[in-house]
Structure 1
């Protein structure tokens, strides 16, 4: 990956809907060159897809929480399968340190959050959980 590839990615991370024509003008490269670069970035897996990222106003109807899970040894596969089946679980990260999983949840109400936390705590192999409810976002650099 060279500077042109990095510049393409930087512009697309700001606006994934930017057209090839606009990208090529901003980067001062031929449209055919830009199209070839995009195809190479897509086929190599550097660009996995184009998506919509909601701003704070778009996410306002959701209550978000981070859940730290400690699990029994050798129970990861079964727990992952159960967590993936829950629509409220947006992200699952494995971690190093005192916890095994870091989950990000999004629910429409505190009652739904409470129910989701109960279901997570009831999964066989979950030793303990700690929930952190998100209050406000002060910085979001995630792409």
Structure 2
């Protein structure tokens, strides 16, 4: 990746729906050159896809939480498999330190969040958990 690729990615991160002609104009390149760069970045896996970002209106009714999980030895695969089946689980990351998994949840109500936390606590291999409910977003670079 070079500086032009980084500028292209920054423009796409701002608005992935920008037409290639607009991207080309902003980068000072030919449309075909920009399209070739996008194709190459997709083929290399630098661009993994394009997604819908919901605005504040949609997020207003969503309660988010981060759940820090401590697992039994060698239980990660089974726990992740169960978490994958829960639609409230947005992401799960392995971690170093005191906790083994960092899980991000999104629920429509406190009751749904509570139920989801109970279900996570009942998963075989989960030794313990700590929940952090998100109150407000101060910085969001992921969209």
CA deviation string 1:79-126 (max 9, x = no partner): 010000000000101100000000000000111111000000000110
Alpha-carbon deviation of 1:55?
A: 3.0
CA distance in 1, matches of 2:142, 2:29: 28
Instruction: Give me the TM-score of the superposition, normalised by structure 1.
Output: 0.97
User: Distance between the aligned counterparts of 1:71 and 1:139, measured in 2?
Assistant: 30
Alignment of 1:1-143 (within 5 A): 1-143=1-143
In the alignment, the residues of structure 2 paired with residue 51 and residue 23 of structure 1 have an alpha-carbon distance, to the nearest angstrom, of 18
Q: How far apart, CA to CA, are the structure 2 residues paired with 1:57 and 1:137?
A: 14
How far residue 142 of structure 1 moved from its aligned partner, in angstroms, is: 1.7
Q: CA deviation at 1:54?
A: 2.0
How many angstroms does 1:53 deviate by? 1.7
Q: CA deviation at 1:2?
A: 0.7
Q: Helix, strand or coil for the counterpart of 2:29?
A: coil
CA RMSD of aligned residues (A): 0.8
1:138: Cα distance to partner? 1.0
Number of aligned residues = 143
Specify the SS of the correspondent of 2:90.
strand
Report the CA distance between 1:58 and its aligned residue: 2.3
Q: Distance in 2 between matches of 1:8 and 1:142?
A: 16
- How far residue 137 of structure 1 moved from its aligned partner, in angstroms, is 0.6
Specify every segment of 5 or more residues in structure 1 that has no aligned partner in the other structure, as ranges.
Answer: none
Q: What is the alpha-carbon distance in structure 2 between the residues aligned to residue 138 and residue 41 of structure 1? A: 31
Q: Distance in 2 between matches of 1:58 and 1:18?
A: 22
Q: Indicate the SS of the match to 1:26.
A: helix
